[in-house]
Structure 1
Amino acid sequence: MTREAYAFTRSFAPTGPTELLVDRHYLLCASTGALRLEAEGQRWLLPPARAALLRAGRPCTVAIPQPATTASVLFHVDFVAPPPQDLTVFDLDPLARALVAECGAWQEADEPLPAYARAIFGALAAVAWRLAESPSPVVMPAGRSAEVRKALQLTEERLGDEVRFEDVAAAVGLAPRSLARRFEAEVGMTWRATLRRMRVLRAVEHLAADDTPVTTIAHEVGYGSLSAFNAAFRELTGATPSDYRATFTG
């Protein structure tokens, strides 16, 4: 009999998109660095002190743009109920972090868990499933059509520059008005709002990477004004860049 649940910690070098598919419900917690996740047409950023909950048997694409360390906890499908969504990213509270750390004592093995370990893994599942009901706002824009996906890629590549919507539309072969309608229909927001969100999420990745000053990060993601950057960051995350960085260490 394989274990009802087990945990492990692992460090990763930067890698491009790879598919992750496991036969257990998967709680993936970022400790350092930030991961990019995509499943069922949704894209998420996973910065430190947050967790992703993946349903067993559902594929997820993972990209690691910078060195990262993660803690993983896997639950047998007969041990816990299915997560509410295929993929959810949420903030870890102190109780969840303590339970993840405690679960780290039991790695993959053939023998079943002792009673104490079963209780700890069960408690972690209960807490994580509850936290997943309040997803993190770090959802990355995603499109369905080739044109919108290419427009998103081009926009992301030019975040630090004076990127113009008309230039992006021309590059994907659509009139600006047509591309604007596509953004509203597929992304659920305007291109300008998408650009603002992408810049904030890129800033989150920079904040997770090292101790680069916030002012430097603001310029690197395309903001000439620190106050405008702080306002956009707070609008999405509910915190200033400095306060958000402080949450990475709990």
Structure 2
Amino acid sequence: MTQAPPAQVVHGDFPAGGPIDFCPDRHYLLYARDGVLRLDDGGRVWSLPPARAALIAATRPITFWLPRPVTALSVLFDATHGPAPAADLSVFDMSPLARALLEELRHCTDGPTDAHEQALFDTLRKVVWRLAETPSPAQRPAGRSDLVRRALDRTEAQLDSQPSFAALAEDLAVTQRTLARHILAETGMTWRANLRRMRVIRAIEWLADPDRSITDIALGTGYASLSAFNAAFREITGQTPSDYRDSFRT
């Protein structure tokens, strides 16, 4: 049996599709160099534009899908070389150093070929492991019950308009009070807080598209003004939309 290399890159273009159930046999740095990945671990949903990545511990099952074509630049790290990640799943903001190391190693699809490339992989592991210790708060609860999942999915489908909670409850054939109670119990947030978070997550995905202006993104996610959009985005990510976009253009 051929022994797996200590680390190797997964680099290539992939069409839109999914959901894809995946259980890596090695620690997996999941990253989209171009495009957006969506990651679902059953109770939480994240978007992964080029500004963000996920570190998944070996044997940790996940589900992901590609809303549009993606250029992946991911890495598989052998679990016997170095420590395990602090958490079995962490989504975090990528640093310029981590992206630069990935670019330098993108041809190493069969693993390192010399001591220099091995040293770069070792450095990348240390950088990514450290970044993963500070996970991003921009995630969307998925809900556990069919009722809450349908409510959140239908809300997300109406982000470019002004979703109505009363109309949503009527559509799902439950009272507003019942629906509000279930959403709060399963997600830890009110419906309106979920709506605000969904809008920011959608904006995070769209900021990866250089052809979309920030004004178009604000209007397309349901905000009537740039100031309201900027305030909501900063509240959840800690950055303005412009700063966030610049962070992965550098």
Pair in the same fold by TM > 0.5: yes
The answer to whether the 8 Å contact 1:151/1:168 transfers is: yes
Q: For the Cα contact (< 8 Å) 2:105–2:117, is it kept in 1?
A: yes
Distance 1:233 1:102, change over 3 A: same
Q: Distance in 1 between matches of 2:198 and 2:190?
A: 12
| AA matched with 1:72 | S
Structure 2: runs of 5 or more not aligned: none
Deviations 1:145-180 (A, max 9, x none): 111111010000111122111121222232111111
Equivalent AA in structure 2 for residue 88 of structure 1:
S
Question: Distance between the aligned counterparts of 1:207 and 1:69, measured in 2?
Answer: 16
Counterpart of 2:12 in structure 1 is 10
* Matched residue, 2:130: 130
CA RMSD, aligned part only?
1.8
CA distance in 2, matches of 1:35, 1:71: 12
1:76 aligns with 2:88: no
Distance 2:177 2:169 in 1: 9
Is 2:46–2:140's contact at 8 Å kept on the other side of the alignment?
A: yes
Q: What does 1:1-250 align with in structure 2 at a 5 Å threshold?
A: 1-108=3-110, 114-250=114-250
Is the alpha carbon distance of 1:49 and 1:223 closer, same or farther for their aligned partners in structure 2, counting shifts above 3 Å?
closer
Residue type at the aligned position of 1:103: L
Contact kept in structure 2, 1:34 and 1:205, CA below 8 Å: yes
Q: Deviations over 1:171-219 (max 9, x none)?
A: 2232111111112211111100110110111112122123222222211
Secondary structure at the counterpart of residue 209 of structure 1:
coil
SS of the equivalent of 1:66 reads coil
AA aligned to 1:64 is L
Contact 1:39–1:86 under 8 Å retained in 2: no
Normalised TM-score (structure 2): 0.92
Contact 1:3 1:113 in 2 (8 A): no
For 2:216 and 2:190, the matched residues in 1 are separated by 27
Percent of aligned pairs sharing the same letter:
51
Equivalent pair of 2:11/2:109 in contact (CA under 8 Å):
no
Structure 1: 5+ residue stretches without partners:
none
Between 235-244 and 112-121, the greater mean CA deviation after superposition: 112-121
- The Cα of 1:44 is off from its aligned counterpart by 1.1
Shift of 1:95: 2.4
The 8 Å contact of residues 66 and 209 in structure 1, kept in 2 or not, is answered as no
Which amino acid is 2:161 matched to? D
